[in-house]
């Protein structure tokens, strides 16, 4: 009898240890050289340290566990507990996600932050409907134009094949008179060298990480928008945790978001310098190019608002306040 009781006690002790230390999986889309990925590792480390190892998060970077387009669904279904995604890729799910990729709405980091605060309540409502909760966002450096040739006006881009990474950038490519082609980051070098694309709009970081100097020559700093990655958690997974652990996650998320907004300016400067050091011709856009692009931005902004007047209207109203 006594033996049996001891046996049970040991067994339940062992079981409770197992159920206390949890491991969560966190797929991310981009590789380890990117700031959002570095921040994801910090976020995971902070949570592990502050929970004394009760919750440890395994970061699976570079879409190694789940392909980028499938990450939101994996979090929603609970296949993984949390994950990271580039907000703009969800533009076809709901126009609210497009706030992330509309040219010339917010071109400074300060304005991009303001736009984010304006969009956040609408984003949270959408995610909540899908059983997810927003944890934090990380901004990318401002998006600029990379080409295999100099560009002084849109005419120089006619017949160009431009990379697109979201519904909004496909629309942008159309309006610029180019042919949009969707290419994931790891495939950019190959797509340029085989002539599938000859231009793209992305950050100095993505150009520098992909050694853009190997396959293109010009960078025109149009700084057209400042997009973000977001990290979302499955609501049920989060609610199952005790209050203290939930608090640790929210605190680590706030720290992650802060380091992103604080770090992005210096990241942009360093990566632009890397482009210059490797021989890319970095220049400011001509007045003509900027005015042509701004006209396209205005068209895109009004199309965007017309798609969802109440939600997008709410974002723009909060932003312009």
Binding site for ligand PCA (CB under 6 A): 86, 140, 165, 185, 202-203, 205-206, 227
As measured in angstroms, the least distance from the Cβ of 188 to ligand PCA is: 8
- 10 Å CB burial of residue 13 (0-12, 13-18, 19+) is exposed
**146 versus 304: smaller Cβ distance to ligand PCA:** 146
Q: Could you tell me whether strands 281-283 and 144-147 are parallel, antiparallel, or unpaired per DSSP bridges?
A: unpaired
**141 versus 285: smaller Cβ distance to ligand PCA:** 141
**31 versus 177: smaller Cβ distance to ligand PCA:** 31
Residue 275: closest CA among 214, 185, 198: 214
Cα 191 to Cα 210: distance, rounded to the nearest angstrom? 12
**225 versus 238: smaller Cβ distance to ligand PCA:** 225
As measured in angstroms, the least distance from the Cβ of 205 to ligand PCA is: 6
As measured in angstroms, the least distance from the Cβ of 259 to ligand PCA is: 17
- DSSP per-residue letters across 232-295: EEEHHHHHTS-HHHHHHHHHHHHHHHHHHHHHHHHHHHHHHHHHHHTT-EEEPPPHHHHHHHHH
Residues facing residue 59 across a β-bridge: 26
**43 versus 140: smaller Cβ distance to ligand PCA:** 140
Cα 170 to Cα 162: distance, rounded to the nearest angstrom? 9
As measured in angstroms, the least distance from the Cβ of 138 to ligand PCA is: 11
As measured in angstroms, the least distance from the Cβ of 57 to ligand PCA is: 22
Q: Are residues 86 and 98 in contact, defined by beta-carbon separation less than 8 angstroms?
A: no
**37 versus 206: smaller Cβ distance to ligand PCA:** 206
As measured in angstroms, the least distance from the Cβ of 176 to ligand PCA is: 17
| Position of minimal CB gap to ligand PCA | 203
Count CB neighbours of 314 within 10 A: 16
As measured in angstroms, the least distance from the Cβ of 203 to ligand PCA is: 3
| Contacting residues for 170 by C-beta, under 8 A, at least 6 apart | 164, 180, 182
Q: Are residues 243 and 96 in contact, defined by beta-carbon separation less than 8 angstroms?
A: no
**202 versus 234: smaller Cβ distance to ligand PCA:** 202
């Amino acid at each position: 009898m006594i033996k049996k009781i001891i046996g049970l006690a040991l067994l339940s002790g062992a079981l409770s240890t197992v159920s206390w230390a949890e491991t969560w999986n966190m797929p991310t889309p981009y590789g380890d050289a990117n700031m959002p990925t570095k921040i994801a590792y910090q976020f995971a480390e902070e949570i592990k340290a502050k929970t004394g190892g009760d919750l440890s998060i395994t970061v699976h970077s570079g879409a190694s566990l789940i392909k980028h387009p499938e990450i939101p669904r994996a979090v929603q279904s609970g296949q993984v507990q949390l994950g990271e995604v580039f907000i703009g890729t969800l533009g076809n799910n709901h126009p609210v996600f497009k706030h992330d990729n509309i040219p010339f709405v917010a071109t400074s980091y300060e304005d991009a932050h303001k736009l984010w605060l304006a969009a956040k309540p609408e984003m949270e409502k959408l995610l909540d409907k899908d059983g997810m909760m927003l944890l934090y966002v990380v901004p990318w450096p401002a998006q600029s134009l990379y080409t295999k040739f100099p560009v002084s006006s849109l005419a120089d881009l006619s017949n160009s094949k431009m990379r697109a990474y979201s519904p909004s950038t496909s629309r942008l490519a159309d309006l610029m008179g180019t042919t949009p082609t969707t290419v994931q980051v790891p495939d950019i070098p190959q797509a340029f060298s085989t002539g599938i694309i000859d231009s793209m709009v992305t950050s100095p970081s993505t150009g520098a990480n992909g050694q853009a100097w190997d396959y293109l020559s010009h960078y025109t700093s149009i700084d057209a928008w400042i997009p973000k990655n977001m990290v979302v958690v499955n609501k049920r997974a989060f609610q199952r945790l005790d209050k203290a652990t939930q608090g640790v996650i929210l605190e680590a998320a706030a720290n992650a978001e802060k380091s992103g907004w604080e770090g992005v300016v210096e990241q942009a400067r360093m990566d632009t310098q890397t482009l210059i050091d490797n021989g890319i011709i970095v220049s400011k856009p001509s007045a003509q190019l900027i005015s042509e692009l701004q006209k396209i931005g205005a068209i895109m902004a009004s199309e965007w608002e017309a798609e969802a007047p109440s939600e997008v209207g709410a974002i723009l109203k909060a932003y312009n306040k």
